Amino acid sequence: MLKSLSKNSLAAVFDRMNLTIALLATALVASFVTTLGVSTLRIYAEDNLLLIARSTSYAVEAAVFFRDSEATREGLAVIMQSEQVAIATITDIDGKLLAQWEKPANHRLDNFKRYLSTFLQGSVEQPIESQGRVIGYLSLRADGEKLFSFILRGLLGTLGCLLIVVAGTLYLSRRVQRRVSLPLDALGLVARSALRDRDFSVRLPPSSIQELDELGQNFNGLLDEMQTWHASIQNENLQLSQKASHDGLTGLLNRSAFEACLQQACIDAAQQNYRFAVFFIDSDGFKHINDHHGHAAGDQVLQIIARRIRAQVRESDVSSRLGGDEFAVLISPLNETGDSIVVAEKIIAAMQQPVLLEEGEVLHTSLSIGIAIFPEHGCTAAELLMHADTAMYEVKKNGKEGWQLAGSHQSDLQTGSNT
């Protein structure tokens, strides 16, 4: 099982990488400069210590020659008090100690300076000669004051440079990070827009960095392909949805889609307490048209019927071809029952106009309409369609080309005829 990788921001990666490089470079330079400085100072300190030893040996030559310890100590103390020496020792030719001077250690740093001097500089030994003959030895050990001061200043200078380098590195790193991260952030926003919102119209702007600009151009090209593909898929889905819910000949809703719409209307009307009407419409004499003029003529007649029905109802009303020469209309909402009768009469009147076929032939047809009102004639789609269908057949039995309300016998108010 793969372990999850830890994720860091681009700014953190840039900062860590640049700081590592800067600190490593600074440490290498500081080490080189410090080593070179200490080596140079050590050589200088040793030369200075030898010079002090020579001048001191001349000053105490007589006292050492006569082995006068008191005079040797006094002469040694006078000279050493003004020099950067921690310990001075004089012995005779036999190694017997004649005099020793040691600089007082006022605080702990003095001892540390001496240890540092011993570690880095060591000590010098100068023979004391008289008339060309060695009569004793002078040993000097530096107090390390200059060396300590140099190292301390070097460390402080290195620390100051380090702080400047860190601040400069972070500043430059953030500038570079912004130049790199802004195009990448834009890429992320565009990608999220395409992934979550399916918005493929947004494009990445040009970048001043060549590689990121090429990446943006390639990504924009991919978005172009995805936008074209997405539009094609949407169009195909729309066509499939249209085919699934609409009649291919007339463009009206098919029976299953109309029944679903009608059932939803029953639910909404019951909840919101309003009325609507359902028309069941049948073409009179359509079989005769099919038999004598052909199915192509029959298809044209059905298309014209659909257009004329749609022209007489509101945009909010729903028209459907149930199958064959049967149509249905949902009039919703309905204020008065008489409003549905007005619409039915307009549809019947529209079909009184001759039907002109593409071949130039003129035909005449009429419609029979059954009307069912929610909730008076039913509270479900099946009940309303059944009662409207029954009312339509009552019109057929009574001479066709007219309308009738469901659940009533023929009368002047409930049945209309235009014959």
C-alpha angle 94-95-97 in degrees, rounded to nearest 5: 125
3-class secondary-structure state, position 19: helix
Distance between first and last Cα of the chain: 84
Closest CA to 262 of 309, 323, 314, 319: 319
CA distance 75 to 100: 11
Burial (CB < 10 A; 0-12, 13-18, 19+), residue 229, is exposed
Radius of gyration, alpha carbons of the chain: 56
Burial (CB < 10 A; 0-12, 13-18, 19+), residue 195, is exposed
Q: Which of 284, 325, 339, 389 is catalytic?
A: 325
Phi then psi for 337, rounded to 5 degrees? -60, -35
Whether residue 209 contacts residue 183, with contact meaning beta carbons closer than 8 Å, is answered with: yes
Helix (H) or strand (E) holding 79: helix 69-80
* Cβ within 8 Å of residue 188, ≥6 positions away: none
C-alpha angle 167-168-174 in degrees, rounded to nearest 5: 90
Phi then psi for 404, rounded to 5 degrees? -155, 140
Closest CA to 180 of 406, 403, 13: 13
3-class secondary-structure state, position 139: strand
CA 69 to centroid of chain Cα atoms: 88
Q: Is residue 375 reached through a cis peptide bond, with omega within 30 degrees of 0 on the bond before it?
A: yes
Closest CA to 168 of 31, 28, 26, 27: 26
CA distance 203 to 182: 14
Strand partners, 88: 101, 140
Total number of residues shown for the chain: 419
Could you confirm whether 224 is annotated as catalytic? Answer: no
* Cβ within 8 Å of residue 167, ≥6 positions away: none
Residue found under tokens 């050493």: 80
- Residues marked as catalytic: 325
